[in-house]
Amino acid sequence: MAKMAMDGRARGPFTGKKLDKGTLKRLLKILFTEYKGIVSVFFIMLLISSVCASINGIFLNRMYKTLEIYVAGVKDASKAVYTARQAWTKVVGVLGLLAGIYVTGLIANFIFNRLGAVLTQRFLRDMRNKLFAKMQTLPIKYFDRNHHGDIMSTYTNDVDALRQLISQSIPQLCSTIITLVVVAVSMLFLSVSFTVAVVIGVIIIIFVTKVIGGNSAKFFMAQQQAVGAMEGYVEEMMHGQKVVKVFCHEEESKKKMAQINGHLYDVSYKANAFSNMLMPIIHNIGNVMYVLIAFLGGGLLIFAKEKAINISFEALFNTGNIVTVLEANIVISFLGMSRHFANTLGQISGQINSVVMGMAGASRIFNLLDQESEDDNGYVTLVNACEDENGNVTESCERTGIWAWKHPHGDGTLTYTKLKGDIVLDDVDFGYTEEKIVLHNISLYANAGQRVAFVGSTGAGKTTITNLINRFYDIADGKIRYDGININKIKKADLRRSLGIVLQDTNLFTGTVMDNIRYGRLDATDEECIEAAKLASAHDFITRLPEGYNTMLTSDGANLSQGQRQLISIARAAVADAPVMILDEATSSIDTRTEALVQKGTDSLMKGRTVFVIAHRLSTVKKSDVIMVLEQGRIIERGTHEQLLEKKGKYYSLYTGAFELE
């Protein structure tokens, strides 16, 4: 079972640093380059909608002023400017224009929301495809070093956080900024003096937002990381539930879960506490600002009367004089605008948590996308070939059962080397990290059709050698040659296509039994799959399944026994018909009776193929042409079964010990 701790393997551990501005820049670059057309229309509609929703203060001020002039004329005939009809016509005109603006905003808002849904879902679809495509290019070591649950969290939590960022937070922020600009211009248009008072309140709001919002952002980032860590741990516990129960580890597991969940609770509590605190504070600062403006405006109108002046661009526009007498309609309109301005600022605070979580999610998504892909500089490819009477090999368009290495040369010529299965390791050193070498001076050869077995204690390096032949990892020093070709020159996909593998841990996929066997070679016919199943001694039990080869398998073949799952895995390797086979503890999950049946199939499967066998059951390696005994990453003995017994060394002690146990 994987290490059950928050051991730092999760990608991008929280360091307490602020969000990287480059993440937002990169996100916006993707949006404005890959979705340029829809984003352009989207933001135009957003601009129109926001302006239409924010410009009403100017028109209401005109209506108030018209009514104020008309009422003054009613009270004092000498001040009459409008008749009742004229005043009503002007009011209706203003309201009609305002209604037209609102209808325009409504239409723009409808288009904006529809486009937003299309843009968001299309972006997320493409992002998930990119993530999955990238994941297929990553080396095995990436999955060894990262919790699988944490990787899954990228597809779920991080993508969902990104959805909220794109569909809600960014549009809301853009709309808020547009609204603030429009309202600020409207306030300046009506009264520069009162706008200065509002600016003082805004400075206070910005300061509070920076202090409280900064703490909220920090803990929301930590929360996103903690969610990934928790999902990684839960995934480990689900995968290792049998081990947990066998060793009565339930209480310890619960304690560890409580610790991880407690950390998630702490950072989530602090993040939401700061976030929930911010909006009420900003709204109350806005309320205080509203009261102060009302107090100041009302006091000036009552006590200063005609001496109260107002600096207004509206007056400059109407009379050519920027200084005018303060009027009640200015105060009334400005109060509404200041409230609207403060409420809009409050909306920004409400989006902080979504923005931070979305940015943290985007950062983790980009972190996965930026992982270094598996390096493949190979140029030698595997092709179908045909061979004439003189042994000359040429490329064929049809499947002939003969494969060849297609080797392009610098002078433009091509040579074809028939795939035989000769593999040579020459003084190979390897370490999973540069500091710790686990294989030392490994030298061996396997001629075509030979069976090479690796035995030794756990951790001796048996599986590591086969991983190097597959190029799941690259060697630190030495050479590995395949039919005389350095495997670094062979494209990895073609190299692996020439290797059939049966692993100790079987992996079956959701689909029918036939689909899982055909996974070894997608163009295999049903008849070929059935023959492979017969070869692996799987045909009999498959025909006894409810729907035979059409029986659906789910949850990694949970409806089959471990032995049956392994037999299907062997059939999958058989249908691949690869010239080189690697059997890594292939029969470890099969009982002795089933092993005897499988041995007949694997003996047929191994005929004419180069085979590497890893087994703890020494009975499965006795027929090998050569047996390599490994200890601490070194080959300490090599020879046939009989030769090694005569030496009475490590192999002898292993074999006799196993014999005594039996």
Domain co-membership, 484 together with 613: yes
Domain co-membership, 61 together with 158: yes
Domain co-membership, 244 together with 347: yes
Helical segments of 544-649, H only: 562-576, 592-606, 641-647
Q: State residue 265's pLDDT score.
A: 87
As a whole number, the mean pLDDT across the chain is 81
The pLDDT tens digits of the residues spanning 265-275 come to 888 888 777 77
Q: State residue 322's pLDDT score.
A: 75
Is residue 1, in this structure, part of any structural domain at all?
Answer: no
Q: Which two tokens stand for residue 385?
A: 């070939």
Length of the chain, in residues:
662
Domain co-membership, 407 together with 285: no
Is residue 267, in this structure, part of any structural domain at all?
Answer: yes
Q: State residue 487's pLDDT score.
A: 92
Domain co-membership, 179 together with 75: yes
User: Is 13 a residue whose pLDDT tops 60?
Assistant: no
Is residue 374, in this structure, part of any structural domain at all?
Answer: no
Domain co-membership, 413 together with 428: no
Q: State residue 4's pLDDT score.
A: 36
The pLDDT tens digits of the residues spanning 319-376 come to 667 777 777 777 777 787 777 777 777 777 667 777 877 888 888 899 999 998 888 8
Q: State residue 659's pLDDT score.
A: 42
Count of structural domains, the chain: 3
What is the pLDDT confidence band of residue 597, given thresholds at 50, 70 and 90?
low
The pLDDT tens digits of the residues spanning 212-249 come to 777 777 787 787 778 878 877 887 787 677 667 766 77
User: Is 179 a residue whose pLDDT tops 50?
Assistant: yes
Is residue 119, in this structure, part of any structural domain at all?
Answer: yes
Domain co-membership, 305 together with 194: yes
CB 630 within 8 A of CB 462: yes
Is residue 2, in this structure, part of any structural domain at all?
Answer: no
Domain co-membership, 389 together with 504: no
**Residue type at position 74:** V
**Of 549, 624, 542, the residue nearest 583 (C-alpha):** 624
CB 428 within 8 A of CB 442: yes
Determine the distance from the C-alpha atom of residue 544 to the mean position of all C-alpha atoms in its chain, rounded to a whole number: 41
More confident residue, 310 or 2: 310
Structural domain boundaries, residue 604: 423-661
Please give the torsion angle defined by the CA atoms of residues 524, 526, 528 and 532, in that order, rounded to the nearest 10 degrees.
110
Domain co-membership, 135 together with 64: yes
pLDDT over 70 for what percent of the chain? 86
Q: State residue 369's pLDDT score.
A: 92
What is the pLDDT confidence band of residue 662, given thresholds at 50, 70 and 90?
very low
What is the pLDDT confidence band of residue 9, given thresholds at 50, 70 and 90?
very low
Is residue 9, in this structure, part of any structural domain at all?
Answer: no
3-state secondary structure 556-567: CCCCCCHHHHHH
Q: State residue 593's pLDDT score.
A: 67
Cα–Cα dist 2/147, whole Å: 9
User: Is 490 a residue whose pLDDT tops 90?
Assistant: yes
Is residue 13, in this structure, part of any structural domain at all?
Answer: no
Domain co-membership, 68 together with 104: yes
The residues, ordered by sequence, that sit 6+ positions from 496 with a Cβ below 8 Å of its Cβ are 470, 471
Domain co-membership, 116 together with 258: yes
Distances (CA, A) of 452 to 356, 580, 596, 614: 56, 11, 20, 9
Cut 0.75: pTM above it? no
CATH number of the domain that 625 lies in? 3.40.50.300
The pLDDT tens digits of the residues spanning 539-577 come to 988 999 989 999 998 777 777 887 788 888 888 888 888
User: Is 101 a residue whose pLDDT tops 80?
Assistant: yes
User: Is 204 a residue whose pLDDT tops 60?
Assistant: yes
**Of 312, 290, 100, the residue nearest 192 (C-alpha):** 312
Domain co-membership, 343 together with 463: no
3-state secondary structure 220-276: HHHHHHHHHHHHHHHHHHHHCHHHHHHCCCHHHHHHHHHHHHHHHHHHHHHHHHHHH
Is residue 4, in this structure, part of any structural domain at all?
Answer: no
